[in-house]
Amino acid sequence: MAEKTRHVPVLLQTAIRYLNVQRGGTYVDATLGYAGHAREIARGLGPEGKLIGFDRDPAALELARQRLAALGEELGAAMPAVELHDVEFSLAGEVLAGRRVDGLLADFGVSSMHLDEPQRGFSFRAEGPLDMRMNPRQGMTAEQVVNRMDENELANVIYEFGEERRSRRIARAIAGGRPVTTTAQLARIVAAAAPAMKGERIHPATRTFQALRIYVNAELSEIDALLEAAPGLVKPGGRLVLISFHSLEDRRVKDALREGARQGVWEVLTRKPETAEPPHRASSSGASDEAEESDRNPRARSAKLRAAERKAVTGC
C-alpha cells in the first residue's frame, strides 16, 4: 500500500492531552490505522515505555509498522518498545491477558485509508467492488449482503445501523436491482429510490453505506466488547480516550462511561464531548486548532472525543 501523506489523525492534540502520556508508561492504540495517534504517543514514552497497537486490517497494520519503524530511525535510542497485534480490538482483553496499561485510545469507524482506496469498496464516490470488510480475510462482503439478504432484513439493517428513515424503499430498490456488484451501482440505486431531501448536505447513499459497513464489520459489537474490557485493561489513574463519528458509536461510549462513573469505575473528564468544530467558533479571533482541523480534514467534523480516568475500585 502506498503511503498517503494527506492522512490527518483526528483530534490528535486533544487526544494526546487527555491521554496524559507519561514517560515510561504503557499505552494502547486500539485502532492503529495509519499510526498517526500512535506515533505521537510514542514520542512521549521514551525508551522505558511501551506502545501496543491493534488493527484487524493487515494492510493498515503493515503500513503502521513501516511508519513506526521510520519513527524509530528518527528517535533512535529514545524510541519505546512496540508491540503490534493483527486482531480485532475487541480481543484486547484476551490478548493482553491481565496486563494493565496507563492509557488506551480508540478512534472508531472507517479510516481515510479505506475511503481513499476504491478496491476496498467503502466509498460511493469511486467505482469499486462492494467489499467493505476491514479484515479482507474473513466475513461476508457487502456484495453478499445486498444480494443474499431478505428484503425485510436488509431494510432493518439500513434502518438500525444507518438511521435511514426511508430504509424500506431503499431495500425494495436494491432487491429489484439485483445483482448489485459495485459501489457506484449501489449508490445509483439508493439515490434514485431516496433522493436527497431539501437542505440535506450528505449524499443520499451515505446512510446506506454506513449501515452496510457497520453490519459487515460488526462494528457496534466490537465497541461493546472493548468498553466491557476497558476497566480491566486500564490501571487506576490511567486514561481511556474514545473518538466516535456517529450517534450509534457515541451513545454507546457515553452510556458506558456514565454507568462506569455511577459504579465508581471511571471519572469522566469530558462533561461534553470534545469536537473539531467548537460551538463558539463564530468568534474567529480566537479560532482553535480544532476549528482549523475541521477545515483541513472534513472527516473530523463529525468526530466526538470522550475521556475518562480509571478510579481505584476494590475488586476491580
Q: Is the pLDDT of residue 90 over 50?
A: yes
Q: Which helix (H) or strand (E) segment is 217 a member of? A: helix 206-217
Domains recognised in the chain with CATH numbers: 12-112+219-310 (3.40.50.150), 122-217 (1.10.150.170)
Q: How confident is the model at residue 289 (pLDDT cuts 50, 70, 90)?
A: low
For 249, other C-beta atoms within 10 Å of its C-beta total 20
Q: How confident is the model at residue 297 (pLDDT cuts 50, 70, 90)?
A: low
Cα(103)–Cα(113) distance, integer angstroms: 25
Tens of pLDDT, residue by residue over 248-266, are 999 999 999 999 999 999 9
Q: Is the pLDDT of residue 4 over 50?
A: no
Q: Which residues pair with 84 in a beta bridge?
A: 53
Cα(273)–Cα(133) distance, integer angstroms: 29
Write down the residue that cell numbers 494527506 correspond to. Answer: 6
What share of the chain has pLDDT > 90, as a percent?
79
Tens of pLDDT, residue by residue over 41-84, are 999 999 999 999 999 999 999 999 999 999 999 999 999 999 99
**In degrees rounded to 5, what are phi and psi of residue 242?**
-130, 130
Rg, Å, the chain Cα set: 20
The per-residue pLDDT for 21 is: 98
Q: Is the pLDDT of residue 284 over 60?
A: no
Q: How confident is the model at residue 282 (pLDDT cuts 50, 70, 90)?
A: very low
The per-residue pLDDT for 298 is: 58
- Higher-confidence residue: 2 or 16? 16
The per-residue pLDDT for 141 is: 98
Q: Confirm if 49 and 26 have CB atoms less than 8 A apart.
A: yes
Q: Is the pLDDT of residue 3 over 80?
A: no
Q: Confirm if 102 and 52 have CB atoms less than 8 A apart.
A: no
